[in-house]
Structure 1
Amino acid sequence: MSSDSFDDLQTNNISLVPHVVGRSKCIAKIAFSAGSTILSNSSFADVLLPSEKSHRCDYCHHLSGSDSLKRCTGCASFYYCDPTCQSMHWKSGHRKICGLYNSYTSASSFQALEEHKKMDALLLSSLIAHATLVDANERNSDENTAFLTFQALLPGPMAASAPPICPKHSFPAEVIQELYSRFENNNFSIHSHFKTYAHGIFPIASRLFNHSCMPNAAVKFILQVHKPVKLEVVALRAISKGDEICIPYIDPALLQTRTTIFDLTYGFTCCCPSCNVVRAMGMIPEPPKGQVEFQAVCKRLREFVGVMRLSPFSTGDDSLFPRDLACVLHESFISTLSEHFSAASHDGQYDVAMESSKSLSAFYQLIYPPNYPQIGLHILEKAKTCWNHLVRSTHTMSIVTELERSLVTAREVFAVIGLEGDPDNGPVAEISTLSDAKKSL
């Protein structure tokens, strides 16, 4: 990376400084309160998942559906809100792809790729199409910085040959390979309402932020008509001046498999407090199979979290975590518990669902940092279960109280992360709908 492009990453609020064991770290130059936006960064290149094609604009990702979106008149394979989005996408690189796209995607070399490799091939094609504009001096300084930054990112630990790409270009094969070597460990899954719908390249964010399984910041995405999707890094809790700012690269709930993912995909060993506790547990035992025994573990978990001052996973002090609860760290525990909650809610076994929900909440409080979005998502599902319980059975004050408490808690979590993704519906809108419905009780 050139010195100029490195300097462009420094702002009045954050700065890159040397790291003891890593390449560098992002330090807060000011204090951030919970909910503060630390970084806002537009996509350099992105592609929709196949399931989203024709449902979202290929430029701004606005969700409209094929009835209202307009097809590209050239390739008929890309969809846009209107001529404005089509023109913007054309200028940002689609014109390098349009005439070749259909023959490219129907070619045997492309069709032979695995599905995730097809996504890589399409994203790499989008990146190259955008990058070719630098030769014609059609990109602004911010885009030049983004491309230089992407080139300077560390490659992943696994060597894989670059897939075939669509646009014609003048980049040497070794440059294409170098760009592709940064895909697995630097690209972002773009989500709306925390459900992935696209993949994208945000070089500045990739360069700035290290990972933590107990992060103090998280990523969200902002969608606006006629504008490229924007990534924002938001403080989950108060961050003091001088603190390192970290985001999660993967779901922290992947307690067992994350070490392997970090090793194979990112090429590092995570030494965050959460990983230190998990490693100290050694071999994680499976949770009991019997229902009575499983429920006893859940009760023990709720009791422990109920009196816990600080999560051992935030302090890194494994002596604070009871060894007899080690089985809750087995990934089958949360999957089994989630299945119990979903099945009971669906079948109308609301008392059973509420017990499972309490255990899930305790687990999330244990392994996630405060205000982590998944906490809010589960509390919202709990509120929906309370509502279904109320409308399908006799009203009880305890359920009404639980509904009110859940809505307050969910609203507090999402107030921190703020609005994200598609502007319609989503968790915040669902909380408002339930709150209005509660008034009728």
Structure 2
Amino acid sequence: MTSIEKITKNVYLEPHPTARERCMASIPFSAGDIILSSPSFVDVLLPAEKGQRCDNCHRFLGSGSLKRCTGCASFFYCDQACQGVHWKSGHRKICKLYNTYISSPSFQALEEHKKMDALLLSNLVAYLSCVDPTEWHVSTPIFTFRSLLQSPMNGSSPPVCPKHLFTGDFVDELYSRFENNNFSIHSHFNTYAHGIFPAASRLFNHSCMPNAAVKFSIQAHEPVKMEIVALRSISQGDEICIPYLDPALIQTRTSIFELTYGFTCSCPSCQVVRDVGTVPEPPEDSEEFRNICTRLREFAKGTGQSPLFTGNSSKFPINLACVLHESFITSLSDKFSQASHDGPYDIAMEASDTLLALYWLIYPPNYPQIGLHLVERAKASWNHIVRSNSTDAARVAELKSTLSSAQKGLTVIEPEGDVHDGPMEDLQTLLEGVKGL
């Protein structure tokens, strides 16, 4: 029995024509169902989160509320229970050496993302040194991690702490699986840590129009858990895919897939983008840009299903190709952000309408970014109603409609990460507020 089979009976692997294998649903799933729940194998907090979150269970308690490790004064814990778990799982190998390590010239010379790799690799090496090699058998996460495909990107491993626990070749072998298998860990979809989740890496292939997505669960005294959640109905026998990166990275995703993962994506979205060819830059002229936005909204309103979702490039107007340029979504997001707080309100809503039309193109139904934007749109609507001291029926109706859509989408994947201060709390506050309108 492999560790994959021990983790879940909801899925099974079968041969794939081009990839290693594909993950198939053993049972039908509805939107919001958890397909897989798997604890972190090894993880490390981002530097900005140190002292704010427990280094063991990742609970956010804020500065001054955590207990500092007396050995290194650089790791923080909820209590002695979390500190004890972390100590036994590898921190005891790092503790006295940690500060010297992170201040060393070899570590400081690394790029920021390589520093995170180095810290994660150090934690992995420390953890493995605490486990008897006779226990590295087929039913463990260690075995699953070592069975993952190596990254096509070559390069030796960064310096680790502590040194000489294993041979350099073995450490290089571990590191060779980092680029294409590690995950960003997020709370309310804001990254706060990096981690290794061997089961998810082994099971799920990528799609830019996935039927499942990743979220994380934080519980006291427990390792953070990754949960794979169905975004829509999945039939028994369907392949389950997740996004390896944000589908909105339309121009750069092909090169990332080839360089980092060693494959060419053949999902419906990528097929349409390839048919479109070179994506032109959006017009710089404000009036032309606005005309493009108008045509995009009209196209989204008049088409039953996204051509990027179905792979039907014949339904995608070539004169809208510039909306696939990554700068287009950035411009719209900036415009909405600038106008959503202090106005003008009409500009914010127009930018939001265009963003939602673009999201309809590039994201599958119930994708988290859609619900998150709807909450932000609802905040802008609420602020405008409150500041204008107006209960205009049309504006109130639009706000209630936005809240309803946000609630429908977000409940598929929320709650996610920390218990408090997430989009669902904002949504509930707004829902209570509109009752008085």
Same fold (TM over 0.5): yes
State whether residues 204 and 240 of structure 2, in contact with CA within 8 Å, keep that contact through their aligned partners in structure 1: yes
How far residue 12 of structure 1 moved from its aligned partner, in angstroms, is: 2.5
Query: Which of 307, 331, 339 pairs up with 1:336?
Result: 331
Matched to 1:122, the amino acid is L
Query: Which of 195, 203, 206 pairs up with 2:198?
Result: 203
Consecutive unaligned residues of structure 2, counting only runs of 5 or more, are none
- Aligned equivalent of 2:61: 64
- Residue deviations 1:253-279 (CA, integer Å, cap 9, x gap): 011110111111111100000000001
Q: Is 1:255 aligned to 2:250, yes or no? A: yes
2:334 aligned counterpart, secondary structure: helix
Q: Which moved more, 1:55-64 or 1:162-171?
A: 162-171
Q: 1:140 to 1:422 in 2, by over 3 A?
A: farther
Q: Is 1:132 aligned to 2:129, yes or no? A: yes
Distance 1:183 1:136 in 2: 21
Q: Is 1:92 aligned to 2:94, yes or no? A: no
Distance 1:133 1:345 in 2: 52
Distance 1:6 1:419 in 2: 27
- Residue deviations 1:157-210 (CA, integer Å, cap 9, x gap): 111110111025542211110110111110000000000000000001000000
Matched to 1:239, the amino acid is I
State whether residues 313 and 367 of structure 1, in contact with CA within 8 Å, keep that contact through their aligned partners in structure 2: yes
1:26 aligned counterpart, secondary structure: strand
Matched to 2:318, the amino acid is R
State whether residues 255 and 331 of structure 1, in contact with CA within 8 Å, keep that contact through their aligned partners in structure 2: yes
Q: 1:132 to 1:8 in 2, by over 3 A?
A: farther
1:16 aligned counterpart, secondary structure: strand
Q: Is 1:386 aligned to 2:361, yes or no? A: no
1:336 aligned counterpart, secondary structure: helix
Q: Is 1:439 aligned to 2:427, yes or no? A: no
- Aligned equivalent of 1:408: 404
Q: 1:7 to 1:56 in 2, by over 3 A?
A: closer
- Residue deviations 1:36-68 (CA, integer Å, cap 9, x gap): 000000001000001100010000011012311
1:8 aligned counterpart, secondary structure: helix
2:29 aligned counterpart, secondary structure: coil
**Matched-pair identity in %:** 62
Distance 2:16 2:7 in 1: 16
How far residue 9 of structure 1 moved from its aligned partner, in angstroms, is: 5.8
Q: Which moved more, 1:283-292 or 1:197-206?
A: 283-292
Q: Is 1:13 aligned to 2:5, yes or no? A: no
Q: Is 1:28 aligned to 2:64, yes or no? A: no
Matched to 1:8, the amino acid is E
Distance 1:206 1:370 in 2: 23
Query: Which of 133, 155, 175 pairs up with 1:180?
Result: 175
1:416 aligned counterpart, secondary structure: coil
- Aligned equivalent of 1:244: 239
Superposition pairs of residues 22-421 of structure 1, within 5 angstroms: 22-135=19-132, 145-168=140-163, 170-393=165-388, 394-421=390-417
Query: Which of 405, 421, 431 pairs up with 1:425?
Result: 421
Consecutive unaligned residues of structure 1, counting only runs of 5 or more, are none
State whether residues 4 and 199 of structure 2, in contact with CA within 8 Å, keep that contact through their aligned partners in structure 1: no
Give runs of ≥4 in structure 1 deviating > 6 Å: 139-142
Distance 1:130 1:405 in 2: 50
Q: Which moved more, 1:367-376 or 1:126-135?
A: 126-135
How far residue 102 of structure 1 moved from its aligned partner, in angstroms, is: 1.3
Q: Which moved more, 1:295-304 or 1:128-137?
A: 128-137
Q: 1:332 to 1:9 in 2, by over 3 A?
A: farther
How far residue 8 of structure 1 moved from its aligned partner, in angstroms, is: 2.8
2:247 aligned counterpart, secondary structure: coil
Distance 1:220 1:397 in 2: 37
- Residue deviations 1:268-305 (CA, integer Å, cap 9, x gap): 10000000000100111111111111111111111111
State whether residues 10 and 16 of structure 1, in contact with CA within 8 Å, keep that contact through their aligned partners in structure 2: no
1:352 aligned counterpart, secondary structure: helix
- Residue deviations 1:294-347 (CA, integer Å, cap 9, x gap): 111111111111121111111111001111111100111111111111111133
TM-score by length of 1: 0.96
Distance 1:396 1:310 in 2: 33
- Residue deviations 1:214-252 (CA, integer Å, cap 9, x gap): 000000000001011000000000000110000000000
Q: 1:9 to 1:325 in 2, by over 3 A?
A: farther
Q: Which moved more, 1:10-19 or 1:332-341?
A: 10-19
Distance 1:197 1:388 in 2: 29
- Residue deviations 1:382-416 (CA, integer Å, cap 9, x gap): 00010011011133111111110111111111111
How far residue 367 of structure 1 moved from its aligned partner, in angstroms, is: 1.1
TM-score by length of 2: 0.97
State whether residues 128 and 169 of structure 1, in contact with CA within 8 Å, keep that contact through their aligned partners in structure 2: no
Q: CA RMSD in A?
A: 1.5
